Structure 1
Amino acid sequence: MSRYWSRIVHELTPYTPGEQPRVADLVKLNTNENPYGPSPKALAAIAEATSDQLRLYPEPTGQALRAAIAVSHGLSESEVFVGNGSDEVLAHTFQALLKQEGPLLFPDISYSFYPTYCALFGITARAVPLADDFTIDPADYDRPCGAIILPNPNAPTGIALPLSAIEALVARHADVPVVIDEAYVDFGAESASSLIARHPNLLVIQTFSKSRALAGLRVGFAMGQRPLIEALERVKDSFNSYPLDRLALAGATASWLDRDWFEEKRALIIAGRDCLSAELAELGFTVLPSAANFIFARHPDHSGAVLAAALRERRVLVRHFKKDRIQDFLRITIGTEAECDRLVAALTEILAEQG
């Protein structure tokens, strides 16, 4: 605390990111990173961009990257916005679109950055409880509001809504912005980008951090009809006109165009998720149905906090949330086959010890 702080700083409860420890021989399954590394073509593009050209500012709109994304989703370049990770894109979205007269609605168990943004930007919010089975019921959002944001698949549950349910929700709330946060969409859900042409109130946000294995490069993007994208651009150009550097633009564009690498690694993660879910079920865990690159599981006879601590002692890191309804769950990133085997072996040992 300091007397030099602005008033708002005193009132903030900052988001707590997943731990990034420097520990040897660690199985790191706590931050939903891709275990297989980026596309070799992305690495080559980054190396090529590491030249004397770094003395120059990057192209401020990310034109080549926006063009590549637009083609894949049947959009125009003007309907794509790129930013320094999807967190920055989300921050601009909260400022540009979600601060309305009515409250912003989002799930009570969801991405914990949402309430942080609301506090930072002075946005009135209402958390909508998940159903008893931890699913999002779109009917629960049929209430007066100023805007809606939903992750699909949701995090940390991993449960996805079908595209038909998303479209019905967007259509029922045609007078307010509806944002679908698709950080994990590539692992089992269907993108709402196909709905953009029919719904001017829809914004879809994705990231290169998960399925493209570029969490360290910080690249995210949004898709929507031109007026929504223009709103993001106006905020961005009032904050930072050059959000993506030359290396990020080069690497992300090459990664996006390497479809073969993307499909191969995505298939490995999905297969690993199915295998790990079955193995945990055999150990007595309840595993929620996941469409993401992680699973959300609890054991009926053991505390989530105790299990997470015991795993940590064995150099296996998972994510545990101290929050009502989910305090006994572990969120476990899908790692390589060897990493998942080590996790299962550690849990088998822990459960045997604890009885």
Structure 2
Amino acid sequence: MLPFIRNDLAQFQAYAPHPGGDSGSPVASEIILDRLDTNECPYDLPLELKQKLAWAYQHEIETNRYPDGSHTTLKDAIVNYVNRGVPDAESPVNSTNLCVGNGSDELIRSLLIATCLGGEGSILVANPTFSMYGILAKTLGIPVVKIGRCEDNFEMDLAAAQNAIEHPEKAPIRVVFVVHPNSPTANALTEAEINWLKSLPREVLVVIDEAYFEFSQTTLLGELLQHPNWVILRTFSKAFRLAGLRVGYAIAHPDFIAI
């Protein structure tokens, strides 16, 4: 370990999402069709769509210029898409509710920096779940509190979760991460779990990862704006087959997005 690296990072190894050969290079896509560890779509984009993307890159994108940091055009398109998914919402989402990131990982890291960095707090996760919450938190020196799930239905152990909130062992829990539906167990949040999230104090940020919304068609977007301490994460990496382009977005209260 290099002497200038933090001691708590000594346990980490480089993340390798796919098995490789002797050289460590990834196995060719045609050999492994279903990469279950990353839940990638096995089918690439149609050639016609790739040609349109290539044309736009050649004729419309100036690579010598910095891009629009506010992502105005992309946000407007996402707003239209998101609102179609909740047609009866009392308060439709607008661009002030959106933040776009380089994949959900960048958004998760930004949330952690804004809430827990510098010993301000810890995060709560219910394992098994998406591993990057804990990995990103640990790289930032943020404590990770892990609770279990019921063996018969994979529901969160809410008693353990509440105890962790009320009696923190280290820094107070500032962020609760849940996935709706969860990966890898595939179960959506139950009414009891949703009610528990609603009961949390406003000092606790609730991050609801809806990466698989397009498959489940279950969402808490209709209730989001009633809870200023809720954030919904979504991605274009799964149903839209754009994992290689790294586009994720967060939906939250405008005051939080503005930070």
Q: Shared fold by TM > 0.5?
A: yes
165, 171, 175: which is aligned to 2:198?
Answer: 171
TM-score normalised by L of structure 2: 0.78
- Counterparts of residues 230-309 of structure 1 (less than 5 Å): 230-231=258-259
Report the residue type matching 2:114 in the other structure.
A
Q: Distance in 1 between matches of 2:192 and 2:48?
A: 37
* % identity of equivalent residues: 27
25, 47, 50: which is aligned to 2:54?
Answer: 47
Unaligned runs of 5+ in 2: 20-25, 84-91, 166-172
For the pair shown, which has the larger CA radius of gyration, 1 or 2?
A: 1
Unaligned runs of 5+ in 1: 232-355
Distance 1:38 1:98, change over 3 A: farther
Q: Give the superposition deviation at 1:149.
A: 0.6
Q: Give the superposition deviation at 1:14.
A: 5.0
Tell whether the 8 Å contact from 1:13 to 1:116 is kept in structure 2 after alignment: no
Q: Give the superposition deviation at 1:215.
A: 0.6
Which residue in the other structure is 1:77 paired with? 95
TM-score normalised by L of structure 1: 0.58
Distance 1:166 1:200, change over 3 A: farther
Q: Give the superposition deviation at 1:124.
A: 1.9
Distance 1:40 1:89, change over 3 A: farther
Tell whether the 8 Å contact from 2:40 to 2:238 is kept in structure 1 after alignment: yes
Distance 1:98 1:6, change over 3 A: closer
SS of 2:133's equivalent? helix
Q: Distance in 1 between matches of 2:52 and 2:115?
A: 34
Q: Give the superposition deviation at 1:89.
A: 1.3
Distance 1:106 1:221, change over 3 A: same
1:88-138 Cα distance to aligned partner (Å, 9 max, x none): 111111212355745321112111122212211122221010111252236
Q: Give the superposition deviation at 1:69.
A: 1.6
Higher relative contact order (CA 8 A, sep 6+): 1
Which residue in the other structure is 2:178 paired with? 150
116, 139, 143: which is aligned to 2:135?
Answer: 116
SS of 1:29's equivalent? coil
Q: Give the superposition deviation at 1:43.
A: 2.9
Distance 1:25 1:117, change over 3 A: closer
Q: Give the superposition deviation at 1:205.
A: 0.5
Q: Distance in 2 between matches of 1:170 and 1:42?
A: 40
Q: Distance in 2 between matches of 1:92 and 1:40?
A: 35
Q: Give the superposition deviation at 1:218.
A: 0.8
Count of residues in correspondence between the two structures: 230
1:52-101 Cα distance to aligned partner (Å, 9 max, x none): 62222211121111112223232110110111111111111121235574
Report the residue type matching 2:189 in the other structure.
L
Q: Distance in 1 between matches of 2:47 and 2:72?
A: 22
Q: Distance in 2 between matches of 1:61 and 1:78?
A: 10
**Alignment root-mean-square deviation, CA:** 2.6
Which residue in the other structure is 2:146 paired with? 127
Which residue in the other structure is 2:221 paired with? 193
- Counterparts of residues 1-150 of structure 1 (less than 5 Å): 1-7=1-7, 9-13=9-13, 15-19=15-19, 20-22=26-28, 24-30=30-36, 31-38=38-45, 42-51=49-58, 53-71=62-80, 72-73=82-83, 74-99=92-117, 101-137=120-156, 139-140=158-159, 141-143=161-163, 144=165, 145-150=173-178
2:212 is the alignment partner of 1:184: yes
Which residue in the other structure is 1:303 paired with? none
